[in-house]
Amino acid sequence: MMFDNFQAYDVQETRRVSREEGRIEGKIEGEQLLLIKLMIKKLEKNYSAEQISEILEESLDTIQPIYDIALRQAPDYNTDKVFEELNSNK
């Protein structure tokens, strides 16, 4: 009676889906970290957020929050700390 409404649970499919989700998250994280690293290089050369946006061909809406966080760390920029703060605000 307890299992009358039980639907099959496919462990292998659940693992496959979880791995795929992990890959996607890892890819997004890697892209964000790369963008932060590139931005820090431009910040060290005193580029403005608008200039960085144009150079990296990213929208200012994407660049500005990263720029603001990184700028508060000047001159001791830390990619991982910028990443953590950026994602803690979401």
Chunked mean pLDDT (size 10), the chain, 90 residues:
61 86 92 95 95 96 95 92 87
pLDDT of residue 45: 95
pLDDT of residue 5: 60
pLDDT of residue 80: 94
CB atoms within 10 A of CB 67: 23
CB atoms within 10 A of CB 70: 24
Q: Give 34-42's long-range contacts (Cβ < 8 A, gap of 24+).
A: 35/62, 35/66, 36/66, 36/70, 36/79, 36/82, 36/83, 36/86, 37/79, 39/63, 39/66, 39/67, 39/70, 40/70, 40/77, 40/79, 40/82
pLDDT of residue 74: 87
